[in-house]
Amino acid sequence: MVNDGHATGSRMVVVALALAMLALFVVNIFVGSTHVPPSQVLEVLGACLGCHAGNVSETTSFIILHSRLPQAVVAVFCGASLSVAGLMLQTAFRNPLAGPSVFGITSGASLAVAIVTLAVGTSTAIGGQITVVAAAFVGATAVTALILALSAIVRSGVMLLIVGIMIGYLSSSAITLLNYFASADGMRSYMLWGMGDFGAVSSEQLPVFVALSALALLSAVLLVKPLNALLLGERYAESLGVDVVGVRNWLLMSTGLLSAVATAYCGPVSFLGLAVPHIARLLMRTDNHKSLMPVTMVCGAAVALLCNLLTTVLSDGVLLPLNAITPLIGAPVILYVILRKR
């Protein structure tokens, strides 16, 4: 009876989160930095679905279909990707403060973007955006490959985490030097990318972003059973026939892909990968990844949509930087987790 009650409660949490995510997705389409009457939004969406539409300007259609809708979709996949990456790293290294940024993956992407914007002088606008995305992806992937190579030498999960932190420090040092010698335009381009933005993905780039994110999320879902085994310790997992080294390598590749895609397209979005897994655990009250993984995905998507909405709602039409909003939600969660474990 207790298990049935817990299962029912878990299903209610999942349904509530899914409804909240859907509601936030709809609100993100209706609300933005530019005021568009709800009736016109409905007409644009009706025309998109093949229904009869009234006289709606091309500007309004562009705002809804090529700005707000892609931005909401990007927020869903980016939030889910970073949250799942954080969940897997926290489980694998048994550290509640582990996340993509702590592991140096985000720093690798930031360093690569700093090189093309500060040293080379590439702009983050229009044509230069493709170069920035490619550089961020290469940087994050390179750090992931380095961590994978070092994992064959460094067997301890804690030591591997420290290696990631050191990579982050080295990247920050290099970025500081590049900033010191960079031009004003280069510094501005890098600063804008570093603020994070779900609206940086164009309609043309959206299918590639969604496909890569979905592939990375699928690779994470396939790790549910090994992650549950790792919760009981590496020795116990090995006694169950789990290839701990192989699982760790797979986990690092999956986490690297999740973080690389999200960071390359949206910039180094802070706190989502660190805080959302804890929100999911507080809601579900379980460490079973069969329940925790999908809830983390939905919760991450919902939190990302909420942050994206707050960038316009709190500023009265002026678009606030995304990384100015995410700590407002993430930092209190992390502080609560730290104080709760005292």
Domains of the chain, CATH where assigned: 2-340 (1.10.3470.10)
pLDDT in the model for residue 160: 77
CA distance 71 to 201: 7
What pLDDT does residue 8 have?
67
- Helical axes 244-266 vs 128-151, angle rounded to 10°: 160
Q: Whole-angstrom Cα distance, residue 210 to residue 206? A: 6
Distances (CA, A) of 42 to 152, 306, 333: 55, 21, 36
Helices (H), 152-268: 157-181, 184-194, 206-221, 224-230, 234-239, 244-266
Which 8-state DSSP code applies to residue 64? I
Closest C-alpha to 202, from 2, 62, 67, 56: 67
Closest CA to 202 of 25, 60, 70: 70
Cα gap 62→64, rounded to integer Å: 6
- So what's the pLDDT on residue 342? 60
| Residue located via tokens 């009250």 | 285
Q: For residue 137, give the nearest of 250, 265, 253 by alpha carbon.
A: 265
- Which pLDDT value is given to residue 126? 42
pLDDT at 3: 55
Which strand (E) or helix (H) includes residue 16? Answer: helix 2-30
What is the rounded CA–CA span in Å between residue 201 and residue 186? 21
Spans of the chain, pLDDT less than 70: 1-9, 50-55, 121-129, 155, 157, 315-317, 341-342
CA angle 225, 212, 250 (to 5 degrees): 35
d(CA 337, CA 340): 5
The per-residue pLDDT for 192 is 83
Helix (H) or strand (E) holding 108: helix 105-114
Q: What gap in Å lies between CA 283 and CA 217, rounded to an integer?
A: 21
Per this entry, what is the length of the chain?
342
Virtual CA dihedral for 156, 294, 77, 189, nearest 10 degrees? -40
